[in-house]
Amino acid sequence: MTDTPLDPVIHAQARLRVVAALSTLGAGDQIAFPRLQEILAMTAGNLSVHLRKLEDAGYVEITKTHRGRTPVTLVALTHRGRMAFEEYTASVRALLQPPDIKEKT
């Protein structure tokens, strides 16, 4: 078992879902906010709140731009966010690993 605490920023269910979804993108890839919202089946307000927490932690990067005259919000997992997610999943795996119990004979 590990003594490493689970990252409280990622551990919240909604943020874990966000980071897990973003981790499937390639490094440097971005996803449009509405598409992420659709994938996660979250309201825009709820997703925005969780993205702000992740952005404040440096785990996601939000880019606001335009395509033509239409505003577009793009979301990407940062390198720091990807590393935090990898550490988080390693900690969860360690917690779920059964102890090595040997019977005495």
Q: For 74-95, what is the mean pLDDT?
A: 95
Q: DSSP for the chain?
A: ---PPP-HHHHSHHHHHHHHHHHTSPTT--EEHHHHHHHHT--HHHHHHHHHHHHHTTSEEEEEEEETTEEEEEEEE-HHHHHHHHHHHHHHHHHHSPP------
pLDDT digits (tens, 9 = 90+) for 43-72: 999 999 999 999 999 999 999 999 999 999
pLDDT (0 to 100) of residue 100: 74
Report the percent of the chain where pLDDT is more than 90.
81
pLDDT (0 to 100) of residue 70: 93
pLDDT digits (tens, 9 = 90+) for 6-16: 999 999 999 99
pLDDT (0 to 100) of residue 98: 78
- Chain centre distance of CA 30: 13
Asked if the model's pLDDT at residue 85 lies above 80, the reply is yes
pLDDT (0 to 100) of residue 1: 46
